[in-house]
Structure 1
Amino acid sequence: MGEAIDYVRGDASAPQGAGVKVIAHVCNDLGGWGKGFVLALSRRWPEPEAEYRRRHRARAGNDFGLGAVQLVPVGRYLWVANMVGQRGIRTSRSQGAPVRYEAIDAALGRLAPRALELGASVHMPRIGCGLAGGRWDRIEPLVTARLTGAGIPVTVYDHD
């Protein structure tokens, strides 16, 4: 039985509170990094984008793909979790949303043991709901089941 998600106003790229923190966000499976929340991350640290692009380029020999998670250290007690939960990018309305709920679920499931190992809290925007086009009412239960249900404190940030 876990805690509830803590909802706050603010910027998920500047997580609040003490202790070890992981900033979790959703990436696409195309190697594209240039719109949305990733820009806030890139303004603060070059490593998450560099690692994401490196991993995508070498994808023939690694686990890069839907459901993958890459934990990138950006500070002594701070990590960024690149979670691949979006198939491609939306170029037109008719295509449907690129979000993949099952991939986000798998990525959260891979993130949970790592967060527990680090003794970390997890901080995120409403993942999968921006450019990925997902619905929070479908993603929130995944976050609850995989993270807060495992005893990992989660804070979700809503930008002003």
Structure 2
Amino acid sequence: MLRIIKGDATSPQAKGPKVIAHICNDLGGWGKGFVLAISKRWSEPERDFRAWHRGRAGNDFGLGATRLVRVDPDVWVANMVGQRGIRTGSNGPPIRYDAVERCLVALCDQVLALEASVHMPRIGCGLAGGSWQRIEPIIVRTLCERGVAVTVYDFA
């Protein structure tokens, strides 16, 4: 159920409904890494993320939260808050594996309702500083074992 291919995660290779999942930080920052590729294709995910962050006092924005933004009739972008801050500090890299797991658990329910497949880069392993050896089992446990097809894209 988990396949890794060469390609661009913003151009998912599948039929039917598709969700492009990626990791965001909890500071509301959007401007480096995979989000640039998203913003180059669609303006809605960044606009929604910034509004979600601005309104955080009255909504669910925070570590472990996931929000879907529709960008095409059969494509959504999942903004998932799985990163504390943007820099490595005394608490290690910004990735928070427990938050990534909560994000993916929430995403799974939404994806199953949409009957969609999930497409992503190696989430949490770029600027967030995470380890694929720790992320991959979380993806398998939260999505693949519940019947969700997941494609991971290594940018060619």
TM range (shorter): over 0.9
Q: Equivalent of 1:102, from 98, 104, 110?
A: 98
Deviations 1:103-157 (A, max 9, x none): 0000000000100000000000000000000000000001000101110000000
The letter for the 2-side match of 1:62 is: N
Structure 1 portions without partners, runs of 5+: none
**Alignment correspondent of 2:5:** 8
4+ aligned runs moved over 2 Å, structure 1? 92-96
Report whether the alignment pairs 1:32 with 2:38.
no
TM-score under structure 1 length normalisation: 0.95
Q: Equivalent of 1:63, from 60, 64, 68?
A: 60
**Alignment correspondent of 2:69:** 72
Q: Equivalent of 1:118, from 91, 114, 121?
A: 114
The letter for the 1-side match of 2:133 is: D
Length, aligned pairs only? 156
Structure 2 portions without partners, runs of 5+: none
Secondary structure of the structure 1 residue equivalent to 2:86 = coil
Deviations 1:78-117 (A, max 9, x none): 0000000000001x56662000000000000000010000
Deviations 1:36-56 (A, max 9, x none): 000000000000000000000
**Alignment correspondent of 2:140:** 144
Instruction: Give the percent of matched residue pairs that are identical in Structure 1 and Structure 2.
Output: 62
TM-score under structure 2 length normalisation: 0.98
Deviations 1:17-69 (A, max 9, x none): 11000000000000000000000000000000000000000000000000000
